[in-house]
Structure 1
Amino acid sequence: MNRITQLFNIQYPIIQGGMIWNSGYKLASAVSNAGGLGLIGAGSMYPDVLREHIQKCKKATDKPFGVNVPMLYPNIEEIIQIIIEEGVKIVFTSAGNPKTWTSHLKANGITVVHVVSSSKFALKAQEAGVDAVVAEGFEAGGHNGIEETTTLTLIPMVKENISIPLIAAGGIATGRGMLAAMVLGADGVQMGSRFVASTESSAHDNFKKTVIETGEGETQLTLKELAPVRLIKNKFYNDLQELYTKCPTKEDLETLLGKRRAKRGMFEGDLIEGELEIGQIAGLIHDIKPVDEIIKEIITEFELAKKEVTTF
């Protein structure tokens, strides 16, 4: 048992990323049932849909699970209220100031974890009273830190600055990656991309297939002027790069982005005009399989790698 398995009362220090359009109750409950911590991604759900997913998740698992809440969404107050009403015990917050909701959530008996991309924000999260932080390197898929700090350098720097438990994210999809992160000082890992390519993920099959076909160098961090996001290079991405050659204003970028592009890409399977968010580690993901198999594979590889390292 380590600080993360103890904090969440789980078997393995593996947390599934609460990704928009990928993380419904089926994925969250499957990860929790397999010994990790599953998260429902509230970012892509209207409040009533979130309530439904929480209720279904409670029926699908008797193990701990949580909800990931990006704080920049307009109906945040309603979402927080639903989480409290439904008795959710773990909340991961991101994309906002941890001071805003941490004390309110903790007053309602909820364990709070905040996602950061720098030591500065990790310290702010610790000061705000969170129970742990996720430090996410820029290898990660989806919305990301503007500084482009890699996981390899970020984890030890954050570790040096905080005393609360630390979860590593960004570029981790295997047992070896998990061991490396923990050697650098992490108490556990959060994986997103690996769980996108799972049977239980709510992503469209077109997107899942694209993820396992995505090779090294085929994703890029872009849209820094709005909110940095790592995307697979498709037609939409190429249109974006062409617009950048014309020195666009923020408004020009917003116009091209439009609305619901992430939903079109990841949930509806539009591989041409949709936003396809995935991490650099996609180049190491070659199959779509059930969550239970994925976690067994990660733990087996982790134990093997640990033995190999100790033979030096």
Structure 2
Amino acid sequence: MIYDKLAQRGRDFLGVKYPIIAGAMTWISDFNLAKAVSENGAFAVLAAGNMPPELFEQEVDRCVAGLKKPFAVNLITIAPNYRAHYEILQSKNVPFVVFAGSFPRKADIQGMKAAGKRTMSFASEESIARQQIQFGVDALVLEGSEAGGHIGHVSLMILLQQVLFEFKEVPIFVGGGIATGRMMAHMLTMGAAGCQFGTRFVMTEECTAHDKFKEVFKRAKARYAISTPQYDSKLPVVAVRSIKNAGTDDFGKLQLQLLKRLEKGEITRETAQYEVENFWMGALRRAVVDGDVEGGSLMAGQSVGLMKDILPMRKVIENLVSEAEIELQNMKTMLCC
């Protein structure tokens, strides 16, 4: 199979059958989803989010005991509980760590490597990619602004040309707007070590997200998933892509309230940013766990417009791989004519 040849670098690095990464989604990428992903040959990632440290440790221990293949834990560097999560994870038998939210410091990367873990981080532009490689990160993930949740400002189309085509030192995985095996095939031919999917794995039977949450995804069009604006540089916020609802409007109101309090000197910028992250963590939980699809956060990538069916995890991964192989064979035929 052509797919096997192109997927070899990613497969060797991750230690799984398919270099398909189930991107971490707070309140969604739990042990249950990780187990389903892992058992079907893809690469599972547990989302730490801003879990209470004791709950985080329990979930990590469940993965260590219950997953037979390599997996990762995703740490949000801007989460209030990040430092506690980091310290807990150092002593756990977890083979991979994915840094997200912002860019990890060199000491954080080196600390995890010293603890025997492979490290992965996101690169939102060429200079960040170069910095992270210099810091010693083992692999990069390019996540375009088409993705859901916390996002950068650059589309995957640009990142492919700016980073994937320019850096060969470490494996580079790509994500954001990818929903089909056909697209995955093209990413592999461009040199990607593998692909990351998020929204696609929400629409699986094994995902424990509330039925109302999944139903919104089924009805959504790509244009419904919008990114939040930053109103003022006095309050830097990481853009979040989600399906527009009342919760999106609430975030806009929160920013305005926090900016007023900042101007009056009632709070510090750090406190304001803490409030922003607390908003997203709580709003996402209300939507995913409680089914509040009006006031909660419906984090989703623009690929949500391609999601129409809720399928078993086995079928999702089989479809991705078989579609990729068919596309690669078609490309071979076209190129050989």
Give the TM-score of the pair, scaled to structure 1. 0.91
Counterparts of 1:292 and 1:18 in 2: how far apart (Å)?
19
1:250 is displaced (CA, Å) by: 5.1
Note the alpha carbon deviations across 1:60-86, whole angstroms, 9 max, x for none. Answer: 321111101111122223212222222
In structure 2, give the amino acid aligned to 1:7: F
- Which one of the candidate residues 33, 38, 42 is aligned to 1:32? 38
In structure 2, give the amino acid aligned to 1:309: M
5+ residue gaps, structure 1, are none
- Residue 203 of structure 1: aligned partner: 209
Is 1:265 aligned to residue 287 of structure 2?
yes
The change in CA–CA distance for 1:3 and 1:311 in structure 2 (over 3 A counts) is: same
In structure 2, give the amino acid aligned to 1:37: F
5+ residue gaps, structure 2, are 1-6, 231-235, 262-271
1:124 is displaced (CA, Å) by: 1.2
User: 1:199-238 to 2 correspondence within 5 Å?
Assistant: 199-224=205-230, 225-238=236-249
In structure 1, give the amino acid aligned to 2:293: L
Percent identical across equivalent pairs? 32
- Residue 3 of structure 2: aligned partner: none
Contact 1:122–1:135, Cα closer than 8 Å, also in 2: no
Counterparts of 2:276 and 2:14 in 1: how far apart (Å)?
41
The change in CA–CA distance for 1:53 and 1:107 in structure 2 (over 3 A counts) is: same
In structure 2, give the amino acid aligned to 1:195: F
Counterparts of 1:130 and 1:151 in 2: how far apart (Å)?
20
Contact 1:176–1:301, Cα closer than 8 Å, also in 2: yes
- Residue 122 of structure 2: aligned partner: 115
In structure 1, give the amino acid aligned to 2:283: R
Give the TM-score of the pair, scaled to structure 2. 0.85
Q: How many equivalent pairs are there?
A: 307
1:249 is displaced (CA, Å) by: 6.7
In structure 2, give the amino acid aligned to 1:211: F
- The secondary structure found in structure 1 opposite 2:165 is helix
1:266 is displaced (CA, Å) by: 2.3
- The secondary structure found in structure 2 opposite 1:227 is coil
Note the alpha carbon deviations across 1:36-62, whole angstroms, 9 max, x for none. Answer: 110000014222112211222233321
User: 1:1-312 to 2 correspondence within 5 Å?
Assistant: 2-98=8-104, 99-145=106-152, 147=153, 149-162=154-167, 163-224=169-230, 225-238=236-249, 248=256, 251=259, 259=279, 260-312=282-334
In structure 2, give the amino acid aligned to 1:234: N
Contact 2:57–2:88, Cα closer than 8 Å, also in 1: yes
The change in CA–CA distance for 1:44 and 1:258 in structure 2 (over 3 A counts) is: closer
Counterparts of 1:256 and 1:26 in 2: how far apart (Å)?
28
Note the alpha carbon deviations across 1:189-228, whole angstroms, 9 max, x for none. Answer: 1111001111222322211111121113111111435220
Greater displacement, 262-271 / 34-43: 262-271
Greater displacement, 131-140 / 176-185: 176-185
